[in-house]
Structure 1
């Protein structure tokens, strides 16, 4: 089986692509599980903040959950920002892991802003509604230097990115068997 380790800034399309490719894979007889950082932040990671240590622990917990699904022969789509190259390398050392980078410019993400998070992150420092330690604005995001697949989500349609991801997964599944 395979674990797709998504990485990309908030709003770059991680959840959307995970959901879309999950439907395609399921329709073709594969078992798929989406391990979404936003969902798990409300459960097994609800005790974590947004320090570097907590962000790393968050990703490690998601990876541990993902490994249980891999053992059950399920394709895992781990949808989380995962901002640190060192941590992506740590997870990427497993032969069943592939890293997919959703590359979208900050300007486009600020325009899209589906959750209104960039608007809050860009508020003046004295505003009580300001989001502090927001990845890509006031906290670090290290672009991956060794992604297995790069999807340019500010230029490609969702459909094109979904198809590229789907074929990437199928090709890598056959290589891993």
Structure 2
């Protein structure tokens, strides 16, 4: 059954489209989805990559999990349902930014494969790049930059990913970054090589 909203809401195709916007920017739009445990280095690597891309003249936008929860997702908690809705909203936002011709760097734990697949399916083939920031739980817990693992172990943070809530590692990511074994600069270089091979940057 089609809802009244579905019948009356129609996508308006404008003259200036994604292809035109990307051509102006001399790049191919893409969404790089950085996933991994808390403390894996997602935001650090994404930020360093964005800095490098900006130096090279590319147009980007970095979406960070904590930052988004200050505004767009400030009404959401950390239940399973709210976490899914958080990822859905970020996926829609990433899609709009890619439509603007940008290279979008999204850094979110996004622990479930189903949620990441949902975002992948929002975008055209080859535009979603799953980047697994592959850092072991031991290393993440040793780093514990925000003290969250300590609080989780003490029972102060329920449903904490990696401790009492599951993290499902990607099975076939476009990029698997050995973040527990390489420097940030080395990992950024791996990303740049991959982006060049895919024709997203020159």
Report if TM-score (shorter chain) is over 0.5: yes
The TM-score normalised by the length of structure 2 is: 0.81
Unaligned 5+ runs, structure 2? 1-28
Query: Which of 1 and 2 has greater Rg?
Result: 2
1:26 alignment partner, one of 48, 54, 73: 54
Contact persistence 2:35–2:107 (CA under 8 A) = yes
Aligned pair partner of 2:137 in 106, 127, 148: 106
* Contact kept? 2:30, 2:200, Cα under 8 Å: no
1:89 aligns with 2:117: yes
Instruction: Measure, in 2, the Cα distance between the counterparts of 1:92 and 1:170.
Output: 20
SS in 2 for 1:4: strand
1:11 aligns with 2:39: yes
Residue from 130, 152, 157 that aligns with 1:121: 152
Cα root mean square deviation, aligned: 1.6
Report Cα offsets for 1:104-127 as digits up to 9, x if no partner: 11111111011110111111x4xx
Contact 2:111–2:167 at 8 Å: present in 1 too? Answer: yes
SS in 2 for 1:121: helix
Runs of 4+ in 1 over 3 A off after TM superposition: none
Instruction: Quote the offset at 1:175 in angstroms.
Output: 6.4
What is the distance in 2 between the residues matched to 1:117 and 1:168?
32
- The separation in 1 between residues aligned to 2:191 and 2:78, in whole angstroms, is 29
Structure 1 runs not aligned, ≥5 long: none
Among 173, 180, 185, which residue is 1:147 paired with? 173
TM-score, normalised with respect to structure 1: 0.92
Q: 2:23 is matched with which residue?
A: none
Deviation at 1:30, TM superposition (A): 0.7
Per-residue deviation, residues 29-59 of structure 1 (Å, max 9, x unmatched): 1100001111001111111111221111101
Residue 171 of structure 1 and its aligned partner are, at CA, apart by 2.2
**Which of 56, 68, 72 is residue 44 of structure 1 equivalent to?**
72
Q: Distance in 1 between matches of 2:65 and 2:200?
A: 28
Give the structure 1 partner of residue 158 of structure 2: 132
2:195 to 146, 169, 175: 169
Equivalent residues of 1:37, 1:62 under 8 A apart:
no
